[in-house]
Amino acid sequence: MAVTNQIILKKMIEELEKANVHADDRPKMLPHINSIRLLCDILLAEEGEGASASSNRLKEKITLEEKKAMFGDDISLDEPESNDGANGKSIFDF
């Protein structure tokens, strides 16, 4: 049985009302907000808009500017060095 968009929208409204009741209590409100997000993702996946756009973004290579924003200026784009038999920078390198 297929779920119609109207049923999903009604469920979103119910969850929004439940979240509004707990607006002052964030831990109780967040599960309802997460439910709303899930219902939105279902609607977007049916239409093929949101799911394909976000998956395409994940497939793109991270740029140098993005890495600098995440890790700072001392990040390199090269693969980590491998020293056979030598200790590396990590305490887990043997």
Q: What pLDDT is stored for residue 51 in this prediction?
A: 46
Q: Which tens digits make up the pLDDT trace of 5-61?
A: 899 999 999 999 999 999 999 999 999 999 999 999 988 887 765 445 555 555 566
Among 60, 78, 76, 79, which Cα is nearest to 68's? 76
Distance CA 40, CA 24 (A): 23
Q: What pLDDT is stored for residue 59 in this prediction?
A: 54
Q: What pLDDT is stored for residue 11 in this prediction?
A: 93
Distance CA 57, CA 6 (A): 29
Residue 80 predicted with pLDDT over 60: no
Residues ≥6 apart with Cβ < 8 Å to 81: 88
Among 38, 19, 16, 39, which Cα is nearest to 29's? 19
SS3 call for 94: coil
More confident residue, 30 or 71: 30
Q: Is 0.85 topped by the overall pTM?
A: no
